[in-house]
Amino acid sequence: MFIGHFAIGLLAKKNNALPSLAMMFIAVQLLDLIWPVLVLFGIESLSIDPGNTKLTHLSFDYYPYSHSLLAASFWSVLLGTCYFLFTKNRKGSLILGGLVMSHWILDFITHRPDLPLSPFTETKVGLGLWNYPILEIFLELLVFGVGAILYFKSANFKRKIRFWILIIFLLVVHLMNLFGPPPPNTMAVAWSANLMWIIIIWAWWIERKRSISL
């Protein structure tokens, strides 16, 4: 799942209250921001496996420190706590913590059973929605579309063109992920995943005239 995670951030950010859209995007994708760094350092691993599921060429072989249920809970508490210590915004910190956990929940729905419960157990879970491509694509696009429209209608910002270009960009990347060829190697996957920071910076750029940017 790719745009589905961003959809949750858009749905949670339905007005101009803090946290910012950029912080929402960091929260919903925090696990996937940590994961490529750990892959590049050889701590976690993946492999190219066309047909691993009907919608992905990747096999997520070992990622307990970024994507296990226990790790997701830890990262959720850590981000929420850090945000609260910095801003004293209790509601915002709870929202961000919940958004971090939303990533694991959506992955649980879409992944085959490759999500570990903790770094200390071999038990892995996943409902495998990726093996039902028509249903998965429809649901993900639907949620993303609803999130984009609701955010657009409720947020008070002037950079509407920047926002819709971002939405189109996310859709293009999503379609390339779905229908493009397998990546050449795992390091290419890890390096390209770090480009997600561009989307976060873009979200900040859309709202940057706000007096408080967190």
- Give a yes or no: residue 53 inside a domain: yes
Confidence at 13, pLDDT banded by 50, 70, 90: confident
- The whole-number pLDDT of residue 17 equals 78
- Look at the chain and report how many structural domains it folds into: 1
- Give a yes or no: residue 213 inside a domain: no
In which domain, by residue range, is 167 found? 3-207
Mean pLDDT of the chain, nearest integer: 93
- Give a yes or no: residue 194 inside a domain: yes
Locate the DSSP E strands across the chain.
45-53, 56-62, 115-116, 124-125
- Give a yes or no: residue 190 inside a domain: yes
Question: Tens digit of pLDDT for each residue in 139-194?
Answer: 999 999 999 999 998 877 677 889 999 999 999 999 998 988 889 999 999 999 99
- Give a yes or no: residue 130 inside a domain: yes
- Give a yes or no: residue 135 inside a domain: yes
Tokens in use for 112?
């085959």
- Give a yes or no: residue 146 inside a domain: yes
Confidence at 209, pLDDT banded by 50, 70, 90: low
Pairing of strands 45-53, 56-62: antiparallel
Rounded Cα gap, residues 147 and 81, in angstroms: 26
Span 45-69, average pLDDT? 95
- Give a yes or no: residue 212 inside a domain: no
Question: Tens digit of pLDDT for each residue in 35-49?
Answer: 999 999 999 999 999
Closest among 172, 155, 167 to 207, alpha carbons compared: 155
Does the predicted model carry a pTM greater than 0.75? yes
| Residue 107 pLDDT exceeds 70 | yes
